[in-house]
A and B are shown apart, each in its own frame.
Chain A
Amino acid sequence: MNEIKIKSKNLNVYYGEKQALFDVNLDLNEKEVTALIGPSGCGKSTFIRCINRMNDVIDICKVSGNIEIDGVEINDKNLDVVSLRERVGMVFQKPNPFPKSIYDNISYGPKIHGKGETKSELDEIVENSLKKAALWEEVKDRLDEPGTGLSGGQQQRLCIARAISVNPEVILMDEPCSALDPIATAKIEELIDELKKTYTIVIVTHSMAQAVRVSQKTGFFHLGKLIEVGKTEKIFKNPDNKMTQDYITGRFG
């Protein structure tokens, strides 16, 4: 069992009047993949967006409760969001490369954080990030071509490379394969397996099979509440909760 990296305590999230998360207490282990499953609108995306404070972007969103990373409270007005997001990267549902060259897509983050001051340092970061995202071989000859010209699966790996480029500790993935075909999905899953050696990964997924394949720990959300959490094997073979049982056997959701 790895050490706990992220710890949420009594986390509540409101969108205006509507409460999206109710007292979520969830521990995420270091260098492990945690999958969050549950029907649409159950709050799993809202939860991971709390970990890098992406909910700040939404005006009407209010977050209360605690989230600690390495024992440091991050849900704190005085916390520097920029350095938090440097430590916690994110990959989105739909690949969203910037309308810039492949090279600029990757070098964007490091430049913002003042990493890679010389051209050769930057080149190295770009190369390493693309290699870690298993994209280097496919694009090394056309780094100056637009990132939007790649295929869907390549775009998503480009976005993973972009997240890796600032050398984070945690990578959040919000349904990273939902817009991809099965082959591209398989590649991303392979990549996740590789990445978990270095990073703590939280993945939101609608595919139960994917959760089983990639994760060590699974949390089941329903209507804003964390219903059950445990080892992936246990959740899928022998869940404690009837609702979890119903969901994973496809009786609702």
Chain B
Amino acid sequence: MNFVLIFLITIFSLSLFFYGRSKTKSISVEKNIKLNALPKFYGYYLVLWCSIPSLVFLLIWTLFEPVIIKSIIIETAANQGAIFNDKNEANLIYEKIKAIYAGTYFGDIDTILKESALSYAKFINLFTNSKIVLIFGIVIASVIYSLKKIKNNNKARDDVEVILKGLLFASSLIAILTTLGIIFSLLFESIKFFSVINIFDYLFGTNWSPQRAFVRDASAITAEEYEELKDAFGFIPLIAGTSFIAFIAMLVAVPVGLFSGIYMAEYASLKVRRISKPIIEILAGIPTVVYGFFAALTVGPFFRQIGENLGLTVSSESALAAGLIMGIMIIPYVSSLSDDVINSVPQSLRDGSYAVGATKSETIKKVVIPAALPGIIGSVLLAVSRAIGETMIVVMAAGLAANLTINPLESTTTITTQIVMILVGDQEFDSPKTQSAFALGLTLFIATLVLNYIAQRAVKKYREKYD
């Protein structure tokens, strides 16, 4: 139904464009007046007036219709004698009623359900009809209004500008609001978690074993149970594992990425650059899950084999394998960002250095790199924030046990891995175990936010200096 309505509105608005355009043309000829805008602006004006109010109305209606119908139906069912103790049971009955209406319910149907299904059908009908009537009403009203305006030779160009500005503003508002929504949902779930688990027990605990809290109702935890639980959610092993793997990744990515960036920017001939830059960027396009199974199936066992040959115990899911592959994944970011910042160091600085007799490598080492340093640091920080947010590789290659270790050959885990492990499969949503995922998400979000902020500040400061 909605699609039909949207289609009709669209067709009608588009035809109004041509009407508005020719109408204003003829008005200007008839009355011999100069139009305030080109005829096509009057066309746009009609289109926007016809489509936007009705579509916005349709959107709002579609969002609220089910909510309203549901509350009406549940109320009438209750009046008819249906019994439900809490919200969940009410929801269940409502779902049954909907299923009966759709003809997909195969259980027993008592009179209450039957009556309710009939009234549901009635309401659906009523709402749909009134929706159509209202939409037509709105379309007609706004078209009459806008036609009157254009007949008075309004300043259509200015009005169209204002409406378009409003549309663009609304789009950016949506982007911002959804981000805020995500942050707040993280925040509220985390607050629930922290109302059960003390935030200091979380931040400074050294033991992470959330499975101990499985299927335990967060709202009814006794003091004794809490004693048992409080050291199940220690964040330290996770942040340690995350930083450790990120550190190994940076050990690989920073030197290789930086040096290849320097080569690209300073030494590579145009031809080499044209071929190798896209190749490096392909590395950035490989899905992380592919890196993940490469790490888990090839590199991990390879390291274990080497370790065995050397007489070392290497876990097949080692921090080293995960970090190494993650580092390889990050190389193109470091390389292409540092290539960019090195390229934007003005040639005049290089000339100045060559002119006193410095060689190319001296110039790079003593002039170009120091000048590009803030930007390079920024790109490294961006890479770090990618490394700690990276999920797939560590899920597949880093292991699940939260070991507090600095031995790269042992398995260790990360924040992202734990979030995945907690939320995979069926979950009790009021268990602290599930809620801890949100707390982890929030912590991770804050950490990457801070890193990104610092990185962008560093890059910006650098840009200001030379642009």
Contacts and interface: CB of A to CB of B under 8 A. Distances in A.
On whether the two chains bind one another, the answer is yes
Interface of A: 52, 54, 57, 59, 81-86, 89-90, 92, 94, 96-100, 108-109, 112-113, 148, 159, 162-163, 165-166
Interface stretch (B141-149, B322-330, B364-372): B364-372
Q: What are the 7 closest A-B residue pairs judged by CB atoms, nearest first?
A: A109-B356, A85-B357, A90-B355, A96-B348, A96-B352, A86-B357, A82-B357
A91 B465 CA distance: 21
Interface in B410-467: 465
Contacts of B371: 98-99
A57 B354 contact: yes
Nearest to B358: A112
A173 to B, nearest CB: 11
Nearest to B357: A85
Contacts of B346: 96
B465 A166 contact: no
B352 A112 contact: no
Interface in B337-362: 346, 348-359, 362
B269 interface: yes
B357 A112 contact: yes
**B: interface residue count bin:** 20 to 34
Contacts of B353: 98, 108
A25 to B, nearest CB: 25
Contacts of A97: 352
B427 to A, nearest CB: 54
Given A96-B349, A98-B349, A99-B465, A85 B367 contact: no
Given A59-B269, A108-B366, A112-B362, A96 B351 contact: yes
Nearest to A58: B347
Interface of B: 269-270, 346, 348-359, 362, 366-367, 370-371, 465
Contacts of A92: 348, 351-352, 355
Give the interface SS of chain B, mostly helix, strand, loop or mixed. Answer: helix
A148 B364 CA distance: 19
Contacts, number: 69
Given A92-B348, A96-B346, A98-B349, A165 B356 contact: yes
Contacts of A108: 353, 356, 358, 366-367
A98 B367 contact: yes
Nearest to B351: A92
A100 B370 contact: yes
Nearest to A100: B370
B430 to A, nearest CB: 57
Contacts of A99: 349, 370-371, 465
A82 B370 contact: no
Nearest to A104: B366
A200 to B, nearest CB: 16
Contacts of A90: 351, 355
Contacts of A98: 349, 352-353, 367, 370-371
20 contacts: A54-B351, A82-B357, A82-B359, A86-B356, A86-B357, A89-B355, A89-B356, A92-B348, A92-B352, A96-B346, A96-B349, A97-B352, A98-B371, A108-B356, A108-B366, A112-B362, A148-B465, A159-B352, A163-B356, A166-B356
A84 B370 CA distance: 26
Contacts of A59: 269-270
A28 B420 CA distance: 76
Given A96-B348, A99-B370, A99-B371, A83 B356 contact: no
A85 B143 CA distance: 78
Given A92-B348, A96-B348, A85 B370 contact: no
A85 B355 contact: yes
A90 B367 CA distance: 17
Contact of B348 (A81, A94, A162, A163): A94
Contacts of A52: 355
Contacts of A94: 348
A192 to B, nearest CB: 17
Nearest to A53: B354
Contacts of A113: 357
B370 A162 contact: no
Contacts of A85: 354-357
A94 B348 CA distance: 8
A8 B350 CA distance: 26
B298 to A, nearest CB: 41
Contacts of A159: 352
Given A96-B346, A99-B370, A99-B371, A162 B352 contact: yes
A159 B367 CA distance: 15
A237 to B, nearest CB: 34
Contacts of A96: 346, 348-349, 351-352
